[in-house]
Structure 1
Amino acid sequence: MKKMYLFGLCMGLVVFSSPIYAVESAKVIAATCFGCHGPDGKTTNKKGYSIVGKPASVIEKTLLQYKEDKLKGTVMNRIAKGYTDEEIKKVAEYLASLK
């Protein structure tokens, strides 16, 4: 029984730490961004901010600053705190890859 539990745990770690999972989770996280930042991250609101196509390093730095309360926002601080630094990095890379 211990061997099966250990095997299942190891397989879960392999699956959920794979690059394919990271890309899929980045897509899911990015989809939540589009609610405020416009369809596909391209805002149609003059007061909004388009997030696609920006350098990944800029997106990541900005999100980490929100997470650490170094930038003030209406909801971005709370949203950013819901993600790990690795998830923030992956979503930044994904958003930067979009055109």
Structure 2
Amino acid sequence: MKRFILAGLTAGILGMWIPSHAVESAKVIAATCFGCHGPNGKTVNKNGYSIVGKPAAVIEKTLLQYKEDKLKGTIMNRLAKGYTDEEIKKVAEYLATLK
């Protein structure tokens, strides 16, 4: 019985830790986006592309297309290949929350 309780508590603690870790990880990944896409994803360059306010599904799909070389970019293909599909999903979800 004690083993079941301990297992349940461990799973609960890990369950609380993983999502917050994923959010922190997404923030770190998103910081790489801001170099080109502007502070918090809002471009300040007339030739830039703002990613702020885009739906998570659109961001995720676009990043996956870059990763799979279905879209061509100057650096986006190389950047996207550096992340797992799960990391791309999390960063897309985070970016979608920015206003």
Into which bin does the TM-score normalised by the smaller protein fall? 0.7 to 0.9
Q: 1:23 matched to which residue of 2?
A: 23
C-alpha RMSD over aligned residues: 1.5
5+ residue gaps, structure 2, are: 1-13
| TM-score, normalised relative to structure 2 | 0.82
Could you tell me which amino acid in structure 1 is paired with residue 19 of structure 2? P
**Rounded Cα–Cα distance in structure 1 between residues aligned with 2:22 and 2:74:** 27
5+ residue gaps, structure 1, are: 1-13
CA deviation profile, 1:2-47 (whole Å, cap 9, x unmatched): xxxxxxxxxxxx48x7101000000000011000101111001111
Task: Name the larger-Rg structure.
Answer: 2
Runs of 4+ in structure 1 displaced over 2 angstroms?
none
State the Cα distance separating 1:52 from its structure 2 match. 1.5
**Rounded Cα–Cα distance in structure 2 between residues aligned with 1:40 and 1:87:** 18
Q: 2:69 matched to which residue of 1?
A: 69
Task: Tell me if 1:32 matches 2:20.
Answer: no
Paired-residue identity, %:
85
DSSP 3-state at the match of 2:26: helix
Q: 2:92 matched to which residue of 1?
A: 92
Q: 2:43 matched to which residue of 1?
A: 43
**Rounded Cα–Cα distance in structure 2 between residues aligned with 1:21 and 1:93:** 14
**Rounded Cα–Cα distance in structure 2 between residues aligned with 1:21 and 1:63:** 21
Q: 2:55 matched to which residue of 1?
A: 55
The number of residue pairs the alignment matches comes to: 86
Q: Which moved more, 1:45-54 or 1:79-88?
A: 45-54
State the Cα distance separating 1:96 from its structure 2 match. 0.2
